[in-house]
Structure 1
């Protein structure tokens, strides 16, 4: 079994762009983390985590005494010049090309979804070939990327196809046609904002 775990609620104002910004988590951390802990088995032997604080902190809480393997490839999308900037403050002439094709267009000073997907899937394949059960504590974009990879879902459709809340736990297990995924834990929280508030989907 492979368990994909998203970090708990981050301590940041809604609407701020934060990919690899190393932010902390809110005061509800222990309550959220204890709920996650309840759906995880006790026999997880390998733990991998994004090195960003919001993930490493959760991995250390969930798996005390275990070695946490920090993997830079499991970090969220690199948002480059937009890190820490409110989405609505990014000039339209700068953000429009990315919004029209976020899969292939890189954020200035950062990366595209395709570039993130490449590093994530290489790392995931290596982890999946290793000992199990294994836990991967990471970010929403990374989990969507992994799920797109195992289900052959186009990256452009991944946000609509996979609902990944803060603290979400996905279980992956081998099936006849590949890895199957199941949601073990999901919290309905207020809608996240990862694009300008006035953005309308193209076409």
Structure 2
């Protein structure tokens, strides 16, 4: 029988990006250095006992991750990048042509039925994230901090809570704010079990 291992996993969403409001999916938007410093200082005061740091390769996450541990100790996980929003990815809302707003509004109402032009489908996004989560928990041996994106955290929660990943409410009603922590307890052994300890707790300034 495989021995039981209990690990804490903290999912940290990156800070607010600079520039005009946009769907910054896989566009490599940046977070202001002073914001990254502030997040680092707050986490240091919390003294979370993580032993490893895993990060999305996008700089809004990776820059923060390298501030939280030695650069050469950050494990980069490409499958935990944000969803690719196709033609709308990284385009400021104020620059979206009026005739294309209807496409965006339909996507928010039902992202499965109305995918964005050129975008990753929600099904592909969920499959990418959930497969990565399964691999991650299968090898998990220690407390871990994952620096990633709001959409990724929502898809992980959908998997561990057995929620319908197609439900638009995961994006419109579940608040995973910038620089917030979601805490999971992962028990691995003959059977794996995940407990959600807290969701989207905003880091105090």
Flag whether TM exceeds 0.5 (same fold): yes
Conserved 8 A contact 1:104-1:112:
no
- Rounded to whole Å, the distance in 1 between the matches of 2:43 and 2:72 is 17
- Rounded to whole Å, the distance in 1 between the matches of 2:41 and 2:113 is 38
1:36–1:47 CA distance, 2 compared to 1 (3 A) = same
Gaps of 5+ in 1: 190-203
Gaps of 5+ in 2: 1-7
Conserved 8 A contact 1:168-1:183:
no
Match of 1:167 among 179, 183, 193: 179
Scaled by the length of structure 2, the TM-score of the pair is 0.79
1:147 Cα offset (Å): 0.8
Pairwise CA RMSD: 2.6
1:12 Cα offset (Å): 2.3
Which residue of 1 is the match for residue 35 of structure 2? 28
Alignment of 1:9-24 (within 5 A): 9-14=16-21, 16-24=22-30
- Rounded to whole Å, the distance in 2 between the matches of 1:113 and 1:37 is 35
Which residue of 1 is the match for residue 152 of structure 2? 142
1:72 Cα offset (Å): 1.2
Conserved 8 A contact 1:11-1:23:
yes
Matched, 1:178 2:193: yes
Deviates more, 1:49-58 or 1:81-90: 81-90
Conserved 8 A contact 1:36-1:167:
no
- Rounded to whole Å, the distance in 1 between the matches of 2:182 and 2:157 is 9
Conserved 8 A contact 1:106-1:113:
yes
| Runs of 4 or more consecutive aligned structure 1 residues displaced over 4 Å after TM superposition | none
